[in-house]
């Protein structure tokens, strides 16, 4: 029994003192640090919105600024004029993300479940198989050859979905989540009651691991939504299925290339640079791209917090 | 029921196979262009395929690579042996660099095909261009790509805002008489008249340096920050320059020191926009000022007829491009836009026939470059091309990257007789003494990377005058020496000597 001072006893009685709570000073410091960090995360996005609504003249004269000389909705009206191309790209992004997330989550769960079941004979082999691919990769050219020539992933939606379907990292998260949330007794009880394997998985285990699935779904949908490199590699002739992210990246890469190589290209570079889309248009596209995923996040949020603490408290 | 169904399915299968066999027996050739801005090519390809069906015996499909994604696409297609890409753009400055990829065997040697099918092609482009494309490749010395006859000579010019200049009371001749080192007075006057936030000197720092010191880029040198220089003789470009035919570290020459000091003076006096000295903002800043002609003197790497292009005319002031030297043919320019045939291609003959036709037949070249008459452009009374802006916005290939531009019809903006003058201008350009030399940097790859990093740190700021050369130049030179400049120079000079001895 530790000695407790008189003043401490008084505080405990008054209810304002807790041995586990931080003092007011420390609390304010923590609040300040976290507020600063949150601001650092939010301010760039606010900046993007401001630039999207700045007029082109303002950007030309004073560059990017929190207080532009004049405001205009030029960029957004221009995007609406772009018409079908833009909405098609937007639709493509949604389609690829939705289908990709659905397929990827299914594959991940179906792969992780047997790995979690201790009575699966080839557990070690499949564990090693997925883990190995996380460490070693073939590189860009072999992947490209396999995808294009062997799997026929070229100029179609499959090319933008299939390469990212399986992620060993997600499998490990899922498996760990299963291990910590689903007691083996549950499976045994289900088997005794006459449930088949699929029935056990779908009716008993899945409802329990909803947080895990939501975490994986969020990670995967974020990955699909932000992906543009696959479009660069595999979309050559069929530009109808190009997602919005690739459209934006193309504009950015064009600008970068011209800036870097202007001395080699001479007058052509100047001509091309003059035709590039405006800065505010690029920012308007960024707004288009960020808004859906930012809106989706709150739905997943409560699951992610649960998912992040996987395995931190046993039992 | 099941038997009936299976019968139907089998019939369907057989029919589908038959229909595939009957249709389209023309092979497809695919060409990959650079720098395109094309969203709708259906009308053009329809006409093109109609035209080439019997002449070439193939159907054309196009991959419209843009500035930013061509490099990646081309490298992937070539290194993975993708037989779906038959013809690919190449040059001395793209990632699928002509000389190195020919050595690695990715490009087909075209000499035999030229003998067989290339008579028209040889007639359409000058001998010197064929010569420039003749290099040492995987199958020996020969031509590994069809060279595009475009602005094949380099010429750097001062981009002068004549409207403003006359307002200040000077003429272009005054300007040139004073020279780069004597423009203080004129800049000061410009700032007086236009106000303090006006920056009269709109330089592209790297180009300005080359214009003042008369140095040339060496093909094969470190990407965007060139370390080596050959010095040009400004009076006669085909004669030797002040350092003869030796490659020197341009940052160590007295010419560079004088240039950097002068730029620093101009920068300190407020004649140069600070945004030009920072890599990320430099290009945007320059383009923005050019758009509304808010400058007095700028630099421009020139192509004949540039003053008639849409963006210059839109600047709202009279612009004159005043050359520093005669145009000179160097390796970068003479290998500036070529079309190579992928060695993994399954239809090399059809591919070559297409290239030969494209570069010699005005109808095909006009179709590919300008589009379809009536849809993308119309011909006015003088027979000059007038573009339909809306349609053109959906179909804008990079004109100079398609091939022989001298067989294109004149546009209304360029005026009658333009292409003829263009051809004469470039056919008459002299070559520098070391034309055709490409530096093979593989023995000194590490040094090049290290030197490139050092240069990226210092070069732009020094060239723009943003830092004081008194203090920065010595540390820059020391850093270059530490990163292996001497080894790099020695290797380059050894290669150059060997090349010139041949």
Q: Is B396 helix (H, G, I), strand (E, B) or coil?
A: strand
* Mean pLDDT taken over chain B: 86
Does the pLDDT of residue A15 top 60, yes or no? no
Same domain as A160, residue A45: no
pLDDT digits (tens, 9 = 90+) for B145-154: 999 988 888 8
The residue of chain A with its CA nearest to that of B315 is A274
Least confident of A126-140, B231-245, B385-399: B231-245
Q: How far apart are CA B492 and CA B226, in angstroms?
A: 13
Is A272 at the interface with chain B, CB within 8 A? yes
Domain boundary among the residues A38, A53, A72 is at A72
Distances (CA, A) of B417 to A96, B384, B409, B410: 52, 10, 9, 7
CATH number at residue A130: 1.10.3720.10
Residue bearing the bigger pLDDT, A72 or B280: A72
- Domain membership flag for residue A176: yes
Residue A62 touches chain B, beta carbons under 8 Å: no
Does B73 contact chain A (CB < 8 Å)? Answer: yes
For A272, which of B35, B217, B303 is closest by C-beta distance?
B35
Could you tell me if residue A14 is inside a domain? no
pLDDT band at B422 (very low <50, low <70, confident <90, very high): confident
Is residue A11 predicted with pLDDT exceeding 50?
yes
Among the partner-chain residues A140, A250, A260, the one whose CB lies closest to the CB of B224 is A260
Q: Does the complex come out with an ipTM higher than 0.90?
A: no
Cα B84 to Cα B31: distance, rounded to the nearest angstrom: 9
Query: What's the average model confidence in pLDDT over B131-142?
Result: 87
Q: Looking at the structure, tell me whether residues A65 and A102 fall in a common domain.
A: no
Q: B386 φ, ψ to 5°?
A: -120, 120
Residue B369's pLDDT is 93
Question: How many structural domains is chain A composed of?
Answer: 2
Shared domain for A205 and A245, answered yes or no, is: yes
Partner-chain residue, chosen from B206, B281, B398, that has the shortest CB–CB distance to A263: B206
Residue of B nearest to A142 (CA): B80
Which residue has better confidence, B195 or B79?
B79
- pLDDT value of position B492: 87
Residue B287 binned pLDDT confidence (cut-offs 50, 70, 90): confident
Tell me, yes or no, if A189 comes closer than 8 A to chain B by beta carbon: no
pLDDT category of residue B19 using cuts at 50, 70 and 90: very low
pLDDT tens digits, one per residue of B210-239: 888 888 878 777 666 777 888 888 888 777
Are residues A151 and A292 both part of a single domain?
A: yes
- Contacts with A273 from chain B: Cβ below 8 Å: 283, 287
CA distance A259 to chain B (A): 5
Of residues A107 and A237, the one with the higher pLDDT is A107
B332 and A CB contact within 8 Å: yes
pTM, rounded to two decimals: 0.81
Q: B3 vs chain A: nearest CA distance in angstroms? A: 33
Judged by DSSP in three states, B147 sits in strand
Say whether both A234 and A105 belong to one domain.
yes
From A233, A236, A266, residue closest to B63, measured CB to CB: A236
Q: Is A296 exposed, middle or buried (0-12, 13-18, 19+ CB in 10 A)?
A: middle
Judged by CB atoms closer than 8 Å, whether chains meet at A268 and B35 is answered as yes
Indicate whether B111 pLDDT > 90. Answer: yes
Q: Cβ distance B162 to B319 under 8 Å? A: yes
Interchain CB contact of A60 with B (< 8 Å): yes
Least reliable range by pLDDT among A261-265, A299-303, B11-15, B297-301: B11-15
User: Are residues A270 and A223 part of one domain?
Assistant: yes
Residues of A with CB below 8 A from B68's CB?
249-257
Same domain, A191 and A292: yes
Q: Domain range holding A56?
A: 24-72
Do A128 and A54 belong together in one domain? no
**Is residue A107 situated within a structural domain?**
yes
Residue B342 and residue B88 in contact, taking contact as beta carbons nearer than 8 Å: yes
Pair of tokens at residue B118? 């290339």
pLDDT score of A97 more than 50: yes
Asked, for residue A282, whether it belongs to a domain, the answer is yes
Question: Are A30 and A108 in a shared domain?
Answer: no
B46 burial level (CB within 10 Å; 0-12, 13-18, 19+): exposed
Bin B293: left if φ > 0, else alpha if -120 < ψ < 50, else beta: left
**Chain B interface includes A148 (CB < 8 A):** yes
Q: Which domains does chain B have, with CATH numbers?
A: 25-149+334-422 (3.40.190.10)
Output phi, psi for B249, to 5 deg. Answer: -75, 105
Q: pLDDT class for A10, splitting at 50, 70, 90?
A: low
Flag whether pLDDT at B36 surpasses 60.
yes
Question: Could you tell me how many CB contacts below 8 A there are between chain A and chain B?
Answer: 125
Interface test with B, best of A64, A156, A260, A264 (most B CBs within 10 A): A264
Same domain? A28 vs A177: no
Whether residue A82 lies within 8 A of chain B, CB to CB, comes out as: no
The strand ranges marked E within B388-427 are 395-396
At residue A144 the predicted structure's pLDDT band, cuts being 50, 70 and 90, is: very high
Q: Could you tell me if residue A295 is inside a domain? A: yes
Q: Which of A237, A250, A260 sits opposite B66 (nearest CB)?
A: A250
Q: Which residues contact A124 (CB under 8 A, 6 or more apart)?
A: none
pLDDT at B8 over 80: no
pLDDT at A1 over 70: no
Q: Is the Cβ of B50 closer than 8 Å to some Cβ of chain A?
A: no
Of A72, A103, A132, the residue at which a domain comes to its end is A72
Domain boundary among A10, A43, A72: A72
Q: Is residue A9 part of a domain?
A: no
Q: Which chain A residues are Cβ-neighbours of B287 within 8 angstroms?
A: 270, 273-274, 276
Predicted pLDDT at B43: 92
Surface of B (268-307) touching A: CB under 8 A: 275, 279, 281-284, 287-288, 290-292, 300-303, 306
B23-37, B227-241, B397-411: least confident range: B227-241
Query: How far from chain centre, in Å, is Cα A58?
Result: 33
Is residue A286 in a domain?
A: yes
The reply to whether A11 falls in a domain is no
Token match 């940052």: residue?
Answer: B251
Same domain, A34 and A153: no
Window B:11-30, CB contacts with A under 8 Å: 30
């330089």: which residue's tokens? B203
Q: Do A37 and A113 share a structural domain?
A: no
Nearest to B463 by CA among B265, B223, B260: B260
Contact B68/A255, CB-based, under 8 Å? yes
Torsions phi, psi of B143, nearest 5?
Answer: -95, 125
Spell out the alpha helix ranges (H) of B126-278: 127-133, 162-168, 172-178, 184-194, 205-213, 254-268
Q: What is the pLDDT of residue A111?
A: 95
């Amino acid at each position: 029994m530790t000695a407790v001072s008189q003043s401490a006893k008084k505080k405990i009685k008054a209810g304002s003192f807790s041995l586990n709570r931080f003092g007011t000073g420390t609390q304010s410091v923590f609040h300040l640090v976290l507020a600063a960090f949150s601001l650092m995360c939010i301010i760039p996005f606010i900046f993007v919105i401001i630039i999207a609504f700045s007029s082109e003249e303002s950007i030309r004269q004073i560059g990017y600024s929190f207080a532009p000389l004049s405001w205009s909705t030029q960029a957004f009206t221009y995007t609406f004029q772009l018409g079908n191309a833009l909405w098609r790209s937007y639709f493509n992004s949604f389609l690829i993300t939705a289908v990709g997330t659905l397929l990827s989550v299914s594959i991940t769960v179906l792969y992780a479940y047997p790995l979690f079941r201790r009575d699966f004979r080839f557990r070690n082999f499949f564990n090693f198989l997925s883990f190995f691919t996380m460490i070693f990769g073939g590189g860009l050219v072999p992947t490209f050859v396999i995808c294009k020539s062997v799997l026929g992933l070229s100029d179609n939606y499959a090319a933008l979905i299939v390469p990212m379907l399986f992620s060993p990292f997600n499998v490990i998260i899922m498996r760990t989540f299963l291990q910590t949330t689903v007691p083996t007794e549950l499976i045994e009880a289900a088997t005794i009651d006459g449930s088949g394997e699929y029935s056990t998985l779908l009716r008993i285990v899945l409802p329990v691991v909803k947080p895990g699935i939501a975490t994986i779904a969020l990670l995967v949908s974020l990955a699909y939504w932000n992906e543009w490199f696959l479009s660069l590699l595999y979309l050559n002739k069929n530009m109808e299925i190009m997602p919005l992210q690739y459209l934006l990246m193309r504009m950015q890469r064009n600008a970068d290339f011209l800036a870097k190589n202007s001395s080699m290209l001479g007058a052509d570079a100047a001509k091309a640079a003059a035709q590039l889309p405006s800065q505010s248009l690029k920012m308007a596209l960024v707004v288009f791209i960020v808004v859906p995923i930012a809106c989706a996040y709150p739905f997943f949020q409560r699951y992610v917090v649960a998912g992040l603490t996987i395995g931190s408290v046993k039992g | 029921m099941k038997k009936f169904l299976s019968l139907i399915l089998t019939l369907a299968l057989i029919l589908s196979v038959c229909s595939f066999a009957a249709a389209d027996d023309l092979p497809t050739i695919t060409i990959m262009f650079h720098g395109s801005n094309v969203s709708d090519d259906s009308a053009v390809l329809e006409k093109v395929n109609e035209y080439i069906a019997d002449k070439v015996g193939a159907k054309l499909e196009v991959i419209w690579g843009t500035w930013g994604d061509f490099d990646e696409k081309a490298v992937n297609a070539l290194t993975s042996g993708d037989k779906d890409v038959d013809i690919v753009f190449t040059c001395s400055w793209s990632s699928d660099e002509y000389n190195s990829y020919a050595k690695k065997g990715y490009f087909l040697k075209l000499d035999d095909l030229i003998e067989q099918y290339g008579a028209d092609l040889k007639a359409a482009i000058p001998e010197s261009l064929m010569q420039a494309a003749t290099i040492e490749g995987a199958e020996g010395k020969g031509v590994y790509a069809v060279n595009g006859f475009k602005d094949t000579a380099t010429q750097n010019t001062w981009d002068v805002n004549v409207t403003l200049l006359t307002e200040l009371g000077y003429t272009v001749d005054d300007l040139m008489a004073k020279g780069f080192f004597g423009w203080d007075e004129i800049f000061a006057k410009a700032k007086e008249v236009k106000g303090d936030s006006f920056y009269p000197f709109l330089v592209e720092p790297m180009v300005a340096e080359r214009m003042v010191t008369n140095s040339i880029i060496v093909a094969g040198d470190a990407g965007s920050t060139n370390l080596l220089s050959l010095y040009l003789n400004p009076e006669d470009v085909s004669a030797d320059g002040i350092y003869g035919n030796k490659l020197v570290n341009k940052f160590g020459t007295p010419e560079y020191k004088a240039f950097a000091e002068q730029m620093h003076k101009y920068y300190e006096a407020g004649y140069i926009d600070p945004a030009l000295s920072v890599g990320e903002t430099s290009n945007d800043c320059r383009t923005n000022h050019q758009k509304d002609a808010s400058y007095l003197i700028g630099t421009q790497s020139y192509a004949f007829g540039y003053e008639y292009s849409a963006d210059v005319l839109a600047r709202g002031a009279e612009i004159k491009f005043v050359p520093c030297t005669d145009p000179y043919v160097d390796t970068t320019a003479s290998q500036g836009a070529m079309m190579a045939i992928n060695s993994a291609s399954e239809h090399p003959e059809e591919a070559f026939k297409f290239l030969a036709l494209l570069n010699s037949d005005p109808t095909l070249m006009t179709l590919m470059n300008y589009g379809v008459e009536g849809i993308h452009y119309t011909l006015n009374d003088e027979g000059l091309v007038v573009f339909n802006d809306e349609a053109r916005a959906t179909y804008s290939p990079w004109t100079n990257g398609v091939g022989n531009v001298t067989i294109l019809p004149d546009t209304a903006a360029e005026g009658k007789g333009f292409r003829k003058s263009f051809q004469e201008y470039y056919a008459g350009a002299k070559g520098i003494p070391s034309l055709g030399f490409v530096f093979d940097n593989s023995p000194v790859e590490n040094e090049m990377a290290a030197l490139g990093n050092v240069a990226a740190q210092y070069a732009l700021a020094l060239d723009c005058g943003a830092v004081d050369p008194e203090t920065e130049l010595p540390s820059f030179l020391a850093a270059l020496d530490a990163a292996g400049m001497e080894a790099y120079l020695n290797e380059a000079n050894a290669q150059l000597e060997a090349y010139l001895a041949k």
